Amino acid sequence: MGVIVAAAFAFIWSTGFVVGRFIHGAAEPNTFLALRFAIAAALLFGACALVRPRMPDLRTVGAHLGIGGLVNGVYLCLVYVAIAEGLPAGIMALFGGWQPVLTVIVAAVAHRSLPRPSVVIGIVVSLLGLGLVLGPGASTGVVTAGLVVMALASITALTIGTMLQPAVRSAAMLPTLAWQMTGGAIVAVGGAVLLGESLPEPSARLIGALAWSVLGISVLGMALMLHLVRTTSPTTVAIVVLAAPPLAAIQTYLLFGDTLTPFQILGVVVALAGVGVARVAAQSSQNTSPTSMK
């Protein structure tokens, strides 16, 4: 059952990058996300009214809003803006696959401890792979420094938000999702206002993208992520996210004809291998630490 949940989450998560490309010309990124999160929150609060789960107190609501602002709002707003500005969805997904490395780095900073040499080697290898992927785009001007900064900032927000999820693991699932979608909506509205975006015209492309994004990604996908975090750990979620880059690359090829050069495909393999080495080494370090042996 756990494998099925992880596989379903990986596929659903990968489609988020594809939607960012799919809505091009139908809606501006922050406006689309504001609509998506607002609709999802309304549906989830409606479900709460029917099911009547235990609702969180004000302090926990604040935590949910903050986490949702990071995981849904800051993360996806930056992702969708980067894709709208020309960053290929497959490459953006590769940045998403770098989340396990950032999880290791953030944990090391939080605990004021240096990672093991094998972890550092994995990080260096992943960076080399990332360089192979970004190289051709950088030389042609497709991948700019600004886009790379946005991509890294988005993954940092996702990483911190995911690591904070266990702090509210005792809250019921429905209100958790509802309040975190609300947090994402607040950030997305702010982004839309800041960038001067306008409301989109209704279209089949917009409606289809919203339907899948709300029901598939925001509701089912986030529920699966919370389930994985609550029953396993943020580390497990980070490892599962490694499947997103190749899945997104396949989808963008089938839907839009996007391709990667053999050089970039090699870079994807090297980057994900480095991430895997870093994550496994970090997990091994945790398992052999004194606190884990008590």
Task: Report angle CA 80, 239, 233 to the nearest 5 degrees.
Answer: 105
Residues 6+ apart with CB under 8 A from 250: none
DSSP secondary structure string for all residues of the chain: -HHHHHHHHHHHHHHHHHHHHHTTTT--HHHHHHHHHHHHHHHHHHHHHHH-PPPP-HHHHHHHHHHHIIIIIIHHHHHHHHHHTT--HHHHHHHHHTHHHHHHHHHHHHHT-PPPHHHHHHHHHHHHHHHHHHHHHHHHTSS-HHHHHHHHHHHHHHHHHHHHGGGGTTS-HHHHHHHHHHHHHHHHHHHHHHHT--PPPP-HHHHHHHHIIIIIIIIIIHHHHHHHHHHS-HHHHHHHGGGHHHHHHHHHHHHH-----HHHHHHHHHHHHHHHHHHHHHHHHHHTSGGGG-
- Residue predicted with more confidence, 256 or 18: 18
pLDDT in tens, 51-65: 999 999 999 999 999
Q: What is the pLDDT of residue 46?
A: 96
Of 23, 40, 97, the closest CA to residue 274 belongs to 97
Q: What is the pLDDT of residue 283?
A: 63
Over range 5-13, report the average pLDDT: 85
pTM: 0.81
| Among the ranges given (42-51, 213-222, 226-235, 284-293), the one the predictor scored with the smallest mean pLDDT | 284-293
pLDDT band at 150 (very low <50, low <70, confident <90, very high): very high
Neighbours of 208 (CB within 10 A): 14
- CB 24 within 8 Å of CB 84: yes
Residues 6+ apart with CB under 8 A from 104: 115, 119, 123, 278, 279, 282
pLDDT in tens, 15-28: 988 999 999 999 99
Residue 197 has pLDDT above 80, yes or no: yes
Distances in whole angstroms, Cα of residue 74 to Cα of each of 114, 191, 208, 279, 287: 28, 9, 23, 24, 32
Over range 94-110, report the average pLDDT: 75
Task: Report angle CA 268, 271, 274 to the nearest 5 degrees.
Answer: 145
Q: What is the pLDDT of residue 236?
A: 64
- Residue predicted with more confidence, 282 or 30: 30
Q: In this prediction, what percent of the chain has a pLDDT beyond 70?
A: 84
Average pLDDT for the chain:
83
Phi, psi of 269 (to 5 degrees): -60, -45
Over range 54-83, report the average pLDDT: 94
Q: What is the pLDDT of residue 104?
A: 74
Amino acid at 282: A
| Among the ranges given (3-7, 24-28, 38-42), the one the predictor scored with the smallest mean pLDDT | 3-7
Over range 217-245, report the average pLDDT: 76
Q: Output b/e per residue, 274-286; b: 16+ Cβ within 10 A.
A: bbbbbbebbbebe
pLDDT in tens, 81-99: 999 998 888 778 778 767 7
Amino acid at 10: A
